[in-house]
Structure 1
Amino acid sequence: MGTSSEETIEESELRENAPCLLSKRWLLAYISSISFIFVYAVRTDISVAIVCMVIDNNTASSANVSDPMCVPNANVSRGYDRAEFTWNKGEQSGILSAFYYGYIFAQIPAGWLAGRFGGKYVLGIGWTIGAIATMLTPVGARESIYIVYALRVLIGFFTGVSYPAMQSMWGKWAPPMERSKLLSLTFSGAFVGNILTFIISGYLCAEGFDNGWGSIFYVVGAANLLWMIVWFVFVADSPSAHSSITDEERDYIVKSIGDSTKPVTSTPWREIATSRPLYVCVLSHVCFNWLLYTIMAEVPSFLKEVLLYDVKSNGLLSSAPFMAMSVTSLGGGQIADFLRRHYLSTKVTRRGAQALAFLGASGCLLGTGFVSCSNRYVGVVLLCVAVGFMGLCNSGFMVNVVDFAPRYAGILFGISNLFATVPGMTAPLAVGALTPNNTQGEWRTVFYICAGFGLVGAFIFTFFSEFEVQPWARENVKVDIDVLDMDGKPKVENGDASSGVHNEGFTENGKIESP
Structure 2
Amino acid sequence: MYRKEASRGGKLPCICSRRWILAYISFFGMFFLYATRVNMSVAIICMVRSGNGSLSSNQTRLGDDVSWPNQALPENHVEDDTCSKQDTSTSSAATKGEFDWDKPTRSRVLAMYFYGYIIMQIPGGWLAGRYGGRRVWGLAFFLLGLFTILTPVAARTSLAFVYVLRFLVGLSAGVTFPNMQSMWGRWAPPLERSKLITFCMAGPALGTIAGFALSGYLCAYGFDNGWGSIFYVFGVGTLAWVVLWFLLTADSPRDSSRISNAELEYIETEIGYKTNVQNTSTPWRAIFTSAPVWAIVVTHVCHNWSNYTLLTGLPTFMKEVLNFDIKQNGSLSAVPYLCAAFISIIAGQVADSLRSRAGLATVTVRKIMVVVAFSTIGSFLIGASFVTCEARHIAVVLLCFAVGGTGVTRAGFPVNHVDIAPRHAGVLYGITNTVATVPGMVAPLVAGALTPNKTAEEWQNVFYVCAAFSVLGSIMFLAFAKGEVQPWAREAGDRAAGEHSSTYRVMYSPKSRP
TM norm. shorter chain > 0.5: yes
TM-score of the two chains, using structure 1 as the length reference: 0.89
Match of 2:223 among 206, 209, 218: 209
Please state if 1:507 is matched with 2:496. yes
Q: CA deviation at 1:76?
A: 2.5
Q: CA deviation at 1:64?
A: 7.6
Please state if 1:35 is matched with 2:49. no
- The question of whether the paired residues in 1 share the 8 Å contact of 2:44 and 2:106 is answered with yes
Match of 2:401 among 385, 394, 397: 385
Provide closer, same or farther for how the CA distance between residues 451 and 13 of structure 1 changes in structure 2, counting only shifts above 3 A: farther
Please state if 1:220 is matched with 2:214. no
- The question of whether the paired residues in 1 share the 8 Å contact of 2:50 and 2:91 is answered with no
1:309 alignment counterpart = 324
Counterpart-to-counterpart distance in 2, 1:274 and 1:451: 28
Provide, for residues 357-403 of structure 1, a one-character-per-residue CA deviation record: whole Å limited to 9, x for no partner.
Answer: 00111000111121221211111111111000110111000100100
Please state if 1:75 is matched with 2:89. yes
- The question of whether the paired residues in 2 share the 8 Å contact of 1:78 and 1:310 is answered with no
Counterpart-to-counterpart distance in 2, 1:263 and 1:106: 20
Match of 1:101 among 115, 139, 149: 115
2:163 alignment counterpart = 149
Amino acid of the structure 2 residue aligned with 1:287:
C
Q: CA deviation at 1:81?
A: 1.4
Please state if 1:324 is matched with 2:339. yes
Q: CA deviation at 1:509?
A: 5.6
Please state if 1:401 is matched with 2:417. yes
Please state if 1:25 is matched with 2:19. yes
- The question of whether the paired residues in 2 share the 8 Å contact of 1:78 and 1:206 is answered with no
Q: How does 1:204-353 map to 2 (within 5 A)?
A: 204-257=218-271, 258-343=273-358, 344-353=360-369
Q: CA deviation at 1:17?
A: 4.2
Residue aligned with 1:336, SS? helix
- The question of whether the paired residues in 1 share the 8 Å contact of 2:190 and 2:497 is answered with no
Counterpart-to-counterpart distance in 1, 2:178 and 2:62: 40
Residue aligned with 2:89, SS? coil
Counterpart-to-counterpart distance in 2, 1:134 and 1:453: 32
Provide, for residues 13-72 of structure 1, a one-character-per-residue CA deviation record: whole Å limited to 9, x for no partner.
Answer: 99x942110100000001110111112111111010001111123444744873244632
1:484 alignment counterpart = none
Residue aligned with 2:346, SS? helix
Please state if 1:66 is matched with 2:77. yes
Q: How does 1:364-443 map to 2 (within 5 A)?
A: 364-443=380-459
1:4 alignment counterpart = none
Counterpart-to-counterpart distance in 2, 1:104 and 1:509: 34
- Give the superposed CA RMSD: 1.9
Counterpart-to-counterpart distance in 1, 2:462 and 2:262: 52
TM-score of the two chains, using structure 2 as the length reference: 0.89
- The question of whether the paired residues in 2 share the 8 Å contact of 1:407 and 1:475 is answered with no
Unmatched 5+ stretches in structure 2: 52-60, 68-72, 501-514
What percent identity do the matched residue pairs reach?
47
2:510 alignment counterpart = none
Counterpart-to-counterpart distance in 1, 2:203 and 2:405: 16
Q: CA deviation at 1:79?
A: 2.2
Residue aligned with 2:97, SS? coil
Counterpart-to-counterpart distance in 1, 2:168 and 2:152: 15
Provide, for residues 272-311 of structure 1, a one-character-per-residue CA deviation record: whole Å limited to 9, x for no partner.
Answer: 1111111000000000000000000010111111111111
Unmatched 5+ stretches in structure 1: 1-9, 478-494, 496-505
Amino acid of the structure 2 residue aligned with 1:38:
F
1:195 alignment counterpart = 209
Counterpart-to-counterpart distance in 2, 1:40 and 1:361: 20
- The question of whether the paired residues in 2 share the 8 Å contact of 1:361 and 1:390 is answered with yes
Deviates more, 1:237-246 or 1:372-381: 372-381
Counterpart-to-counterpart distance in 2, 1:419 and 1:143: 33
Q: CA deviation at 1:339?
A: 1.2
Counterpart-to-counterpart distance in 1, 2:169 and 2:94: 25
- The question of whether the paired residues in 2 share the 8 Å contact of 1:474 and 1:507 is answered with no
Residue aligned with 2:324, SS? coil
Q: CA deviation at 1:261?
A: 1.3
Q: How does 1:95-174 map to 2 (within 5 A)?
A: 95-174=109-188
Counterpart-to-counterpart distance in 2, 1:180 and 1:509: 15
Counterpart-to-counterpart distance in 2, 1:39 and 1:397: 20
